[in-house]
């Protein structure tokens, strides 16, 4: 006997069914979405903050060199990004949504606004 993932009642019907009825399915999925929203919020906030800092530093320019200390003082979270991009010269760009930064030297950061090719950004396919 298969039991419902939410209420443990018997599940009848198709072999891939995991809930006894639509109410249990909706309740479960709603709780899952709520928990996800709650868990990702602090990280989302950091990423949004990082994006805002990059946007402020760049202004209307397409690229700019910034002293690392300026970004550190602005409370830039160096270890949070939305992806990595390795260019052909072996440099690593840290993506923050539609912006990216790269450690140009130990003291200088290159900030760019660019649309990257998603195939290049995700070297390995992301699983769902
Ligand atoms: Zn159920």
Helices and strands of the chain, counted as H and E runs: 3, 5
In a domain, 127, yes or no: no
Q: Domain of 60? A: 22-121
The total number of structural domains in the chain stands at 1
Band of pLDDT at residue 128, cut at 50, 70 and 90: very low
pLDDT at 68: 97
Report CA(66)–ligand 1 centroid distance (Å).
56
Report CA(34)–ligand 1 centroid distance (Å).
19
In a domain, 41, yes or no: yes
* pLDDT tens-digit map of 33-78: 999 999 999 999 999 999 999 999 999 999 999 999 999 999 999 9
Taking a C-beta distance cutoff of 8 angstroms, is the pair 9, 20 a contact?
yes
Mean pLDDT, all residues of the chain: 91
Report CA(126)–ligand 1 centroid distance (Å).
31
Is residue 118 over pLDDT 90? no
């Amino acid at each position: 006997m298969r039991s419902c993932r939410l209420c443990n009642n018997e599940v009848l019907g198709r072999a891939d069914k995991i809930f006894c009825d639509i109410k249990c399915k909706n309740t479960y999925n709603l709780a899952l979405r709520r928990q996800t929203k709650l868990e990702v919020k602090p990280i989302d906030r950091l990423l949004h903050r990082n994006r805002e800092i990059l946007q402020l530093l760049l202004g209307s320019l397409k690229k700019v060199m910034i002293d690392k200390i300026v970004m550190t003082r602005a409370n830039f979270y160096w270890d949070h990004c939305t992806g990595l991009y390795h260019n052909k010269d072996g440099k690593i760009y840290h993506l923050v949504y539609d912006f990216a930064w790269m450690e140009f030297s130990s003291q200088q950061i290159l900030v760019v606004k660019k649309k990257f090719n998603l195939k290049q950004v995700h070297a390995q396919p992301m699983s769902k």
